[in-house]
């Protein structure tokens, strides 16, 4: 095809890819609040477990709405990534040989699965460990010491019921402590309005009170998610290096210690330095490295190029063996 036709085909694929994202954007906007609640749940759980107010703050009038739009658009792009990759594949595939296409048939599904695993690993494992460390580190600095003395004569303390849940139909003026929410809650009735419940956050003594800003938390999560998605592509990188012939499988096995050191450096960059999250990330990265080495063994380049048929594998393996012998005898 002439260059102009190539550009026209690329333009057409880009338009189709973007049009395919339109219904996903509408769907993500519909469930944007639920997605936002899902992403902020680890921070709220960690803050509540540390005895800190489990509310994220918004310091601007449009901060919550902008975070809602940002998360909705990112979710639409993530969910629509296979569609975008398919359109890219439709543009590139006509220029590839059949044996070259077989490599892509393995790499794209593998990369998609690793992307999902990276995001889940961040959400389920790393974020809880990271937040526990950061919250505990902040609250432990300069923690005040409160002096205790006997009550003066004739002084009594106010006693409120301590409950795990709100009572049913509380009367106006009644107050209680909700231990699950760590809140002081009061029933208030306004004229011509039903009884509403107002609350005050309760916080354990801490040197630095933890109040997280919504936009900063979402930005941190998005940055870490991108970093983990890239880091979890290690098996893909190992396969590409092995298939291309730049690095043989024996080299990957020989330099395992160097791989562990590299994984440790990457883990230190992705974690704040606390031992639990550092160890979890290091272990995950090294297992991904070993997965790439294992995949390189069971699906070598000549087997993929042959299409996994017995006759083609035998012929391709013989040709590869002959090439290796020629390389051994080359001065």
Which pLDDT tens digit goes with each residue over 153-163?
A: 989 888 999 99
Within-domain flag for 197: yes
Counted domains in the chain: 2
* Same domain flag for 122 and 172: no
* Same domain flag for 126 and 177: no
Res. 144 pLDDT band, cuts 50 70 90: confident
Instruction: Report pLDDT for 322.
Output: 54
Within-domain flag for 1: yes
Instruction: Report pLDDT for 314.
Output: 53
pLDDT of 177 above 90 = yes
Which of 78, 110, 86 has the alpha carbon at shortest distance from 232?
A: 110
Judge contact between 82 and 33, C-beta under 8 A.
no
pLDDT of 17 above 60 = yes
* Same domain flag for 132 and 1: yes
Of 20-34, 73-87, 166-180, 317-331, where does mean pLDDT reach its minimum?
A: 317-331
Cα-Cα-Cα-Cα dihedral of 285, 291, 294, 299, to 10°?
-130
Average pLDDT over residues 32-44: 93
pLDDT of 214 above 90 = yes
Instruction: Report pLDDT for 328.
Output: 46
Instruction: Report pLDDT for 258.
Output: 92
Mean pLDDT of the chain: 86
Average pLDDT over residues 309-322: 52
User: What are the tokens at 47?
Assistant: 């803050």
Within-domain flag for 41: yes
Per residue in 83-133, pLDDT (tens digit) is 888 888 888 888 778 888 888 888 888 988 998 999 999 999 999 988 988
* Same domain flag for 37 and 4: yes
Of 37-51, 182-196, 294-308, where does mean pLDDT reach its minimum?
A: 294-308
Average pLDDT over residues 243-258: 90
Judge contact between 274 and 125, C-beta under 8 A.
no
Cross-strand pairs, 184: 177, 200
DSSP H helices, the chain, are: 3-30, 32-49, 63-79, 81-92, 98-121, 127-139, 214-231, 234-244, 249-254, 256-270, 275-298, 301-306, 310-329
CA-to-CA distance for 149 and 165, rounded, in angstroms? 32
Instruction: Report pLDDT for 317.
Output: 52
pTM of the model: 0.79
Look at residues 105, 140, 175 and tell me which one is the last residue of a structural domain.
140
* Same domain flag for 9 and 105: yes
Instruction: Report pLDDT for 330.
Output: 46
pLDDT of 273 above 70 = no
Within-domain flag for 328: no
Q: Go through the chain and tell me how many residues it has.
A: 331
pLDDT of 311 above 60 = no
pLDDT of 287 above 90 = yes
| SS3 call for 203 | coil
Helix (H) or strand (E) holding 180: none
- The CA–CA distances, whole Å, from 154 to 130, 150, 157, 159 equal 48, 12, 10, 16
CA-to-CA distance for 140 and 184, rounded, in angstroms? 24
Instruction: Report pLDDT for 271.
Output: 81
CA-to-CA distance for 135 and 139, rounded, in angstroms? 6
Within-domain flag for 211: no
Q: How far is CA 285 from the centre of its chain?
A: 14
Which of 330, 63, 94 has the alpha carbon at shortest distance from 214?
A: 63
The boundaries of the domain holding residue 36 are 1-140
Average pLDDT over residues 276-302: 92
């Amino acid at each position: 095809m002439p260059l102009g036709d190539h550009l026209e085909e690329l333009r057409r694929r880009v338009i189709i890819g973007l049009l395919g994202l339109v219904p996903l954007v509408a769907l993500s906007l519909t469930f944007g609040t639920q997605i936002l609640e899902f992403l902020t749940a680890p921070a709220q759980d960690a803050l509540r477990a540390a005895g800190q107010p489990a509310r994220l703050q918004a310091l601007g009038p449009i901060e919550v709405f902008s975070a809602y739009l940002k998360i909705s658009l990112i979710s639409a792009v993530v969910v629509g990534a296979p569609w975008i990759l398919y359109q890219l594949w439709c543009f590139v595939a006509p220029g590839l040989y059949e044996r070259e296409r077989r490599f892509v048939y393995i790499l794209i599904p593998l990369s998609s699965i690793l992307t999902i695993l990276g995001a889940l690993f961040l959400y389920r494992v790393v974020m809880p460990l990271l937040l526990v460390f950061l919250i505990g580190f902040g609250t432990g600095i300069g923690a005040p010491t409160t002096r205790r003395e006997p009550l003066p004569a004739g002084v009594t303390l106010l006693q409120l019921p301590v409950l795990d849940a709100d009572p049913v139909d509380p009367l106006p003026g009644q107050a209680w402590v909700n231990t699950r929410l760590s809140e002081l809650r009061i029933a208030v009735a306004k004229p011509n309005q039903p009884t509403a419940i107002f609350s005050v956050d309760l916080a354990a003594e801490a040197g630095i009170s933890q109040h997280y800003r919504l936009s900063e938390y979402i930005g941190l999560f998005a940055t870490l998610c991108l970093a983990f998605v890239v880091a979890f592509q290690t098996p893909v990188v190992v396969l590409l290096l092995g298939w291309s012939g730049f690095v043989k499988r024996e080299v990957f096995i020989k330099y395992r210690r160097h791989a562990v050191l590299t994984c440790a450096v990457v883990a230190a960059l992705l974690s704040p330095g606390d031992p639990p999250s550092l160890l979890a990330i290091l272990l995950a990265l090294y297992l991904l490295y070993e997965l790439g080495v294992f995949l390189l063994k069971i699906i070598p380049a000549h087997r993929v190029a042959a299409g996994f048929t017995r006759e083609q594998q035998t012929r391709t393996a013989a040709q590869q063996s002959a090439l290796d012998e020629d390389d051994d005898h080359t001065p």
